[in-house]
Amino acid sequence: MAILKIARMGHPVLARVAEPVKDPTGPEIRRLVADMVETMIDANGAGLAAPQVHVPLRVIVFQAPEGRTDPGFSQAERYDHTAPLTVLINPEIEVVDPAPEGGWEGCLSVPGLRGYVERPAHIRYRGVGPDGRPVERTARGFHARVVQHEMDHLSGILYPQRMKDMRQFIFESEVQHWLKADGE
């Protein structure tokens, strides 16, 4: 396994649509998945999409373990720890309830910044695991948010493109000042 270099906002690989994986059980995909999981954990990320590690394929990994905390933002978002470590190859998403829920998002490809993004709060997703078995779940809260965020990477979309108010695009180092000024 290896820790992979993460592409940052502005790199062309992040702006293109990822290609479907032809053989989800192939050894190169298993190696990619193992490296992505190691990279995500090393970077303290909640998710990672293959385009973020310069591989334009439809592969995402994500998790929201109970031990994960988000200092400063925990007061400003509902943090639902319900996503086990999951690998989705050729994932699809379906909105169950389009009612939006807002939350603060960060991204390993947009380091040091956070933005307030509204997304559907209840979704269903499906894909294939690296063992070739189907994966299908419903998700709410942070679990739904992280899946949608990673799926956006497969379409060449970064979270700032989903923001409605750029005044809510802030440096992580300024969160305490921002929340205080915003009355949180």
3-state secondary structure of 105: strand
Output the pLDDT for position 37.
Answer: 97
Cβ atoms within 10 Å of 39's Cβ, excluding its own: 21
> Is the per-residue pLDDT at 80 higher than 60?
no
Q: Smallest Cα–Cα separation from 103: which of 81, 63, 123, 75?
A: 75
Q: Which pLDDT value is given to residue 180? A: 76
Which residue is listed with tokens 């925990």? Answer: 74
Nearest to 157 by CA among 121, 87, 122, 105: 105
The C-alpha angle with vertex 125 and arms to 160 and 76, in degrees rounded to 5, equals 45
Digit-coded pLDDT (tens) for 117-165: 999 999 999 999 999 999 999 998 888 999 999 999 999 999 999 999 9
- Where in 17-109 does DSSP place strands (E)? 47-49, 59-62, 86-107
Q: What is the mean pLDDT of residues 68-89?
A: 62
Fold adopted by 12-181: Peptide Deformylase (3.90.45)
DSSP 5: P
Whether residue 181 has pLDDT greater than 90? no
Instruction: Give CA–CA dist 38/1, Å, rounded.
Output: 7
Measured torsion, CA atoms of residues 163, 182, 171, 122, in degrees rounded to the nearest 10: -40
Encoding tokens for residue 16? 């293109």
Percentage of the chain lying above the pLDDT 90 cut: 80
Report domain extents, the chain.
12-181
- The active-site residue, picked from 19, 101, 150, 172, is 150
Give me the pLDDT at residue 66, please.
55
Residue 100 and residue 121 in contact, taking contact as beta carbons nearer than 8 Å:
yes
Mean pLDDT within 40-58 = 97
Task: Give the SS3 label for residue 59.
Answer: strand
Please tell me the predicted confidence (pLDDT) of residue 183.
Answer: 65
- Poorest-confidence range of 42-56, 72-86, 100-114, 122-136? 72-86
Clarify whether 92 is annotated catalytic.
no
Note the pTM of the prediction, 2 decimals. Answer: 0.90
